[in-house]
A and B are shown apart, each in its own frame.
Chain A
Amino acid sequence: MVSLFKKELLGEKNWIIGFCGFVLGINFLFLPLAKVTEGFMAMAVIFFTLPAFPLMALVRAFLIWKNEWDSNTSFLLLSLPIRGYNIVLSKIGALAVEIFLYVLLVFLIPYLVLTGFTEQFRIDAVTFLKLWFLTSFRILLLVPFAMFSYLLGRIFSKAKGWISAGSLIVLLLVYSRYLYFGKKIFSYIPEVTMSFTLAGEVETFSLNIATTMATFLFSVILTLASCFFVEKAEL
């Protein structure tokens, strides 16, 4: 699996460089504003880039498989004498590295600017790491949605594209219904409360872990199904 993971990561090299360049570019675009408006505008970096990441995760998860089929490398990959979970987990692993890296870049530069050069914003390192991990992890949980849909389409001989697109829509509808009950299962897990200092005032916010865990459970089921589908996929 390590060998597959390395291959995936190297294969994604251009995407990683491209996205890191995009994130750094946005950061540097907003950096001058940090001085002008006493640091507050540097926060804009996070608000401009982070909302794009869930969509990016879905698209990347879809493309990481589609590229294998389009370039016929699926013949090489699926000729390996390994179970489907090796392939699926190596791809999820590579996307996890990407997502954690992008989110780190989105958070890190404003963090350094705001805490290093202005007195307006203070957040401790542990809170920063918690925020980074939870944000990245939540985005990563979307990856199995797209993988499931793409691979489900691939086990059929015809209407692959329609089946993939349709299943993603159905999946999101099912997930929204499921979440209501899923959150109840994990309601015993307390929320994570974090705080930071902004312009001398202590601001507190909470992250709902029950939602994250319910989504995690849903994503695990989708990943298991994807492992099954990849062995049944038609070339």
Chain B
Amino acid sequence: MIEIKNLVKTYNDVYAVNGVNLTIEDGSFVGLVGPNGSGKTTLLKLLFGFCRPTSGEIKIDGRAPGVNLRSEIAFYPEYDSTYHWMKAQDLIDWYSGFFKDWNKEKEKNLIDFFKLPTHRYVAHLSKGLRAKLKLVLTLSRDAKIFILDEPLSGIDPASRVNITSGILKAYRAKQTFIFSTHIVTDAEMLFERTIFMKEGNIVIDGKSDALREKYGKSMDQIFKEELYG
């Protein structure tokens, strides 16, 4: 279980995350939705331990994020974090060697599903293919928690559908998925629970079906009308 209490993160006196309180149960698929600059990425980086809170507390199964938890959490960064001088398969082989929970079968299935040309150098792959390569690196593990930061950002609509299908294919019950996006349309079908963020705060949080019923709108409409309206 993930427990976040009064979490604050500031950069040069600007509040990126401003007093977030949140509990995420094991095995839930959570959508973290909000416009650019709403604090989604900072919150996810704090969860993984890529940065430290200014104040407040994060506990994952009672432990603070950091190196000790990295064998249990898989992180998909928004940015292109791949080594361009490597061949895709070499990168996968190199990265997989560090993880005990690496699932070779999942790796193969995802490579086939995404039609990833693993014999090519990463530098020669398109942006969409690099995103898929990062997904292979993230989702081929049997981690307890998956943190996906904007996996649909900068991807063409056809590939977005392919990517969400790939994520769904990799999802196993009892695994926790936290998926941040500002492109709600293509991803909302995945979310069991949706958290809307604005200016570093959580403004709406609830079960996706309940929110649709309460507002009488789709997630995309809630996003556009409640957050921007």
A residues whose Cβ falls under 8 Å from a Cβ of B: 3, 7, 10-11, 13, 71-76, 78-84, 157-158, 231-232, 234-235
Contacts and interface: CB of A to CB of B under 8 A. Distances in A.
Nearest to B137: A76
Contacts of B137: 76
A231 B68 CA distance: 10
A80 B75 CA distance: 10
B188 to A, nearest CB: 26
Nearest to B84: A71
A75 B81 contact: yes
A155 to B, nearest CB: 9
15 contacts: A3-B94, A10-B86, A11-B83, A74-B81, A75-B75, A75-B79, A75-B81, A81-B67, A81-B71, A82-B67, A82-B98, A83-B67, A158-B11, A234-B51, A234-B52
B145 to A, nearest CB: 13
Main secondary structure of the interface of B (DSSP, over half): loop
Given A157-B51, A235-B50, A75 B98 contact: no
Interface string B139-166: 0000000000000000000000000000
Interface residues of B, number: 29
Given A79-B70, A79-B75, A158-B12, A73 B82 contact: yes
A231 B67 CA distance: 7
A82 B70 CA distance: 8
A80 B85 contact: no
Contacts of B82: 73, 76
A206 B85 CA distance: 44
A156 to B, nearest CB: 10
Contact of B70 (A73, A80, A234): A80
